Amino acid sequence: MSGCPFVGNNYLFNFNKLSLEDEKDDKSQEGINKASKGGLVYGDYLQLNKILNAQELQSEKKGNKIHDEHLFIVTHQAYELWFKQILWEMDSVRVIFQNGHVRDERNMLKVITRMNRISMILKLLVEQFSVLETMTALDFFDFRYYLSPASGFQSLQFRLLENKIGVPQSLRVPYNRRHYRDNFKGQDYELLLKSEQEPTLLQLVEAWLERTPGLHAEGFDFWGQFEVNVLKGLEEEFALVQAKPESEEKDDDLSEFQKQKDVLLSLFDEKRHEHLLSKGERRLSYKALKGALMIYFYREEPRFQVPFQLLTSLMDIDVLMTKWRYNHVCMVHRMIGSKAGTGGSSGYQYLRSTVSDRYKVFVDLFNLSTFLVPRHWIPKMNPTIHKFLYMAEYCDSSYFSSDDSD
């Protein structure tokens, strides 16, 4: 037997059933076209006429239209729109912290949702470089000359984001040996100055961490108990190493033990912490660091699960900001090599200097892992302590604020 196996009455589809007479039974077509009656429509709501006509090719204005300049403009406009959304979310979170509403668990969840949203946007922005990289260095060279003296450094929103999250002014890399703000004028300069004077997200989180229940000596006294447990644990570990027979391995173990001991004991040296703080190597106050470590150790306790999620989201943002900077550096190096930037900077060399811990705001949260200890060294919580931790937040009248967090 040959030919199509579906030939025959048993396999033929009855196309006659698809008649127009059945349209009256099509539920997918039930509805009313409200737009036909006038009123707000999609294009007007999104102001698409402004957005879609905001791509002015400098190459075209100069009589030499370069195709890829359109991609370059659209990509950077998309970046700026997302920066605007990030600032919108960041400002709302800062308001919740400033008003003390973060003490309400419902608002804490709102904060975490918005911080996670910022992370998702940053992930998108990190990946967006791959779209720009479909353009070759020669493609970019064709229209790069027309861009000068415009430069990505002049992105007001990105500088505002750095300020509002808490990049220390003292740690910023100078731009051509000048303060970064000197590259802005008028209202932009004033906005940057104002953002430097407002409480940063870092400062607001620091104040929140300082209020971590269980830090005070009259309560759980986590820090006091933790220091006692660490000293006891170190003594026990030293005894175990000392009990080993003399050998090269024992010498190595003693050396490693001493390093571990120095690291852990430095945690209880407040003066050393203040010294590192003055050098910019630490960002959080000593009390805030205690609170962060307590949350880190007790993250499985219901009382600390949400705070731990917040600390994690802050580190995620730092990581993604660093990845964004790194991808930017790599793309610039690929596109212009070691040439100067269109704004007059050293280009790749300048950008490379910004990919470091000096721009990582929540570096102390990353360093918490340095002070990990065996679980049995962490002070145990009894039922009384559990009750204290849950009741502590309600002892402060500011927790009863009925104002809307937004």
List pLDDT tens digits, range 329-350.
888 888 878 776 666 566 677 7
pLDDT-derived band of residue 400, with 50, 70 and 90 as boundaries?
A: very low
Find, among 215, 205, 153, 170, the residue nearest to 348 by Cα: 153
Mean pLDDT of 132-137: 94
* Rounded-to-integer distance, Cα 269 and Cα 286, Å: 9
* Between residues 384 and 178, the one the model is more confident about: 178
66: enclosing H helix or E strand: none
Give me the pLDDT at residue 346, please: 63
Mean pLDDT of 138-160: 89
Mean pLDDT of 201-222: 88
Mean pLDDT of 270-287: 94
Helix (H, G, I), strand (E, B) or coil at 175: strand
Q: Which residues contact 366 (CB under 8 A, 6 or more apart)?
A: 315, 318, 360
- Say if residue 185's pLDDT is above 90: yes
Mean pLDDT of 93-120: 89
- Say if residue 401's pLDDT is above 50: no
Cis peptide before 149 (omega within 30 of 0): yes
Length of the chain: 406
- Say if residue 397's pLDDT is above 50: no
Lowest mean pLDDT among 210-214, 322-326, 373-377: 210-214
- Say if residue 402's pLDDT is above 60: no
Residue 23 has, within 13 A of its CA and on its CB side, a CA count of 4
**44 burial type by CB count under 10 A (0-12 exposed, 13-18 middle, 19+ buried):** exposed
Gyration radius of the chain's alpha carbons: 30
- Say if residue 395's pLDDT is above 60: no
Lowest mean pLDDT among 48-57, 112-121, 132-141, 328-337: 328-337
- Say if residue 302's pLDDT is above 90: no
* Between residues 68 and 29, the one the model is more confident about: 68
pLDDT over 90 percentage in the chain: 60
Residue 142 phi, psi dihedral angles, 5° rounding: -60, -30
Give me the pLDDT at residue 301, please: 87
pLDDT-derived band of residue 149, with 50, 70 and 90 as boundaries?
A: confident
- Say if residue 19's pLDDT is above 60: no
**Both tokens of residue 182?**
């000197």
- Global pTM reads 0.86
* Between residues 13 and 224, the one the model is more confident about: 224
Rounded mean pLDDT of the chain?
86
* Between residues 124 and 212, the one the model is more confident about: 124
- Say if residue 394's pLDDT is above 50: no
